[in-house]
């Protein structure tokens, strides 16, 4: 840790801000022809950037030095030319908004990560990627993608769906793939029940990936209502608690998640607050005592940096017919590896279930197991408090 005034900056987090993630859009033939020229115009690397090998799939995550960027318009143009083996290329495009660094930090201390996705059907592809800054500096990278094998495709960072796309087909990340399939629909039938999502917000959260995570966890469940609590485990505080959460609230959640610099910093006062496990237990206890108690409480987080084991005296006392506790941990794009973090340890101590979700198969198996557990309990109203 490094103290700077009243702020404490965790090394390895504060030095890397994240631009708004974008789902790349497949261009029409006219648009593709126009952007094809850019690949001929910008041949040299005049902007320093790096592409970790782990991200060279159906998407990209690129690190650029913040000091090398112009902040007048705050935009970067990302172009991706994808050529299926033996076929003509397709071009996708997306823009990234450059966030402003915190006022009390010098720009040279920061790197900027830009992140985007697209979809590929089965087959092998050559990918050529071009990032263009406002001052016409650029960086280029290229790699080969083999979508013949499903292993390693992240359901969060590379929403490819080979069973839904034809061999050699290239598609926008936002085209209909079923990956973001909850539109706020609720189940008002006799078997519907309230669901709570406890979302840990940190500097690793990509807004688009978090949308996918929430939507695909909630969609299979017969939700009578959805209650969302966004909190910061690092800062030990609640961020946002809408009265009722629906599809229209994702835009507000996006704005919260975009503030990378804020969540990458921690004050001395925040560190002096109660322990991680005391905070998590208090958060859970508040949900257990809610007037409309949920049937299922879903914890959702990228692997947290805290690994504190709960003491017996801080654990909430669970009553008969208590809500089912489930933790879905989702490593995001190689940024964070799966771990037995503090949320994992709390949920397991209370005999809940933990799922690490990295691929579409992981997600499907986890949600099916959760549904089976609920169905085995029988269709019954939420127990009165």
CA-CA distance, 57 to 162, in Å (whole number)? 13
Helix axes 342-349, 276-288, angle to 10 degrees: 50
| Phi, psi (rounded to 5 degrees) for 280 | -60, -40
Give the mean model confidence (pLDDT) for residues 65-83.
Answer: 78
| Higher per-residue pLDDT: 59 or 80 | 80
CA-CA distance, 364 to 372, in Å (whole number)? 12
The tens digit of pLDDT for each residue in 163-193 reads: 467 888 888 765 333 334 565 667 666 677 8
CA-CA distance, 170 to 118, in Å (whole number)? 8
CA-CA distance, 60 to 70, in Å (whole number)? 22
* Mean pLDDT score of the chain: 75
Residue 323 half-sphere exposure toward CB, CA atoms < 13 A? 26
Q: Is the pLDDT of residue 1 over 70?
A: no
Q: What is the pTM (predicted TM-score) of this model?
A: 0.62
30-44, 200-214, 306-320: least confidently modelled range = 200-214
Q: Residue 57 gets which letter from DSSP?
A: B
Alpha helices in 97-220 (DSSP H): 207-218
348's enclosing H/E stretch is helix 342-349
Q: Residue 230 gets which letter from DSSP?
A: E
What percent of the chain shows pLDDT beyond 90? 20
The tens digit of pLDDT for each residue in 207-261 reads: 666 777 787 788 778 888 899 999 988 888 888 999 888 878 887 887 787 665 5
Measuring CA to CA, how many Å separate 316 from each of 128, 223, 284, 285, 325? 53, 25, 8, 6, 12
pLDDT score recorded for residue 241: 92
Give the mean model confidence (pLDDT) for residues 73-85.
Answer: 86
Give the mean model confidence (pLDDT) for residues 27-45.
Answer: 89
pLDDT score recorded for residue 90: 94
Q: Is the pLDDT of residue 143 over 90?
A: no
- 58 and 119 in contact (C-beta within 8 Å)? yes
CA-CA distance, 64 to 72, in Å (whole number)? 17
**What token pair was written down for 354?**
């933990």
- 315 and 285 in contact (C-beta within 8 Å)? no
Q: Is the pLDDT of residue 20 over 60?
A: no
Q: What is the CATH number of domain 193-377?
A: 3.40.50
pLDDT score recorded for residue 350: 94
| Domain ranges in the chain with CATH number 3.40.50 | 193-377
What percent of the chain shows pLDDT beyond 70? 67
Using 50, 70 and 90 to split pLDDT, how confident is the model at 354? very high
55-69, 85-99, 357-371: least confidently modelled range = 55-69
Helix axes 207-218, 250-257, angle to 10 degrees: 140
The tens digit of pLDDT for each residue in 216-229 reads: 788 778 888 899 99
CA-CA distance, 367 to 221, in Å (whole number)? 8
Using 50, 70 and 90 to split pLDDT, how confident is the model at 282? very high
- Radius of gyration over alpha carbons of the chain, in Å? 22
**What token pair was written down for 219?**
């969609």
Mean pLDDT comparison of 92-106, 108-122, 300-314, highest-scoring range:
300-314
Number of helices and strands (H, E) in the chain?
Answer: 8, 20
Give the mean model confidence (pLDDT) for residues 285-304.
Answer: 89
| Higher per-residue pLDDT: 27 or 331 | 27
CA-CA distance, 215 to 43, in Å (whole number)? 40
DSSP assignment of 165-176, as one string? S-TT-EEETTSS
- Where are any strands of DSSP class E within 147-221? 170-172, 193-200
CA-CA distance, 289 to 287, in Å (whole number)? 5
């Amino acid at each position: 840790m490094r103290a700077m005034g009243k702020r404490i900056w965790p090394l390895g987090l504060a030095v890397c801000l994240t631009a708004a993630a974008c789902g790349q859009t497949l261009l029409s033939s006219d648009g593709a022809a126009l952007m094809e020229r850019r690949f001929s115009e910008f041949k040299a690397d005049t902007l320093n950037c790096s592409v970790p090998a782990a991200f060279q799939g159906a998407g990209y995550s690129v690190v650029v030095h913040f000091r090398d960027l112009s902040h007048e318009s705050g935009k970067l143009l990302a172009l991706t030319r994808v050529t299926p083996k033996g076929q003509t290329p397709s071009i996708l495009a997306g823009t990234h908004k450059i966030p402003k660094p915190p006022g009390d930090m010098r720009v040279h201390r920061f790197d900027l990560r830009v992140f985007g996705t697209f979809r590929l059907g089965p087959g092998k592809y050559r990918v050529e990627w071009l990032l263009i800054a406002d001052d016409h500096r650029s960086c280029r990278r290229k790699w080969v993608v083999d979508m013949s094998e499903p292993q390693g495709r992240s359901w969060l960072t590379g929403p490819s769906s080979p069973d839904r796309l034809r061999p050699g087909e290239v598609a926008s990340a936002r085209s209909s793939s079923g990956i973001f399939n909850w539109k706020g629909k609720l189940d008002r039938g006799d078997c519907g029940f309230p669901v709570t999502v406890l979302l840990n917000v940190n500097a690793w959260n990509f807004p688009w990936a978090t949308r996918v995570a929430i939507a695909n966890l909630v969609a299979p469940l017969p939700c009578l209502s959805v209650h969302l609590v966004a909190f910061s485990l690092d800062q030990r505080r609640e961020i946002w608690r809408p009265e009722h959460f629906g599809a229209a609230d994702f835009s507000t959640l996006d704005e919260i998640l975009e503030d990378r610099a804020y969540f990458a910093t921690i004050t001395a006062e925040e560190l002096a607050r109660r322990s991680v496990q005391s905070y998590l237990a208090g958060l859970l206890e508040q949900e257990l005592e809610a007037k409309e108690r949920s049937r299922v409480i879903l914890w959702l987080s990228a692997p947290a940096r805290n690994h504190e084991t709960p003491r017996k005296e801080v654990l909430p006392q669970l009553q008969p017919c208590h809500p089912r506790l489930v933790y879905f941990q989702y490593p995001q794009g190689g940024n964070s590896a799966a771990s037995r973090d503090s949320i994992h340890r709390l949920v397991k101590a209370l005999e809940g279930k933990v799922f690490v979700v990295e691929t579409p198969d992981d997600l499907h198996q986890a949600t099916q197991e959760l549904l089976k557990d609920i169905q085995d309990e029988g269709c019954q109203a939420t127990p009165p408090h």
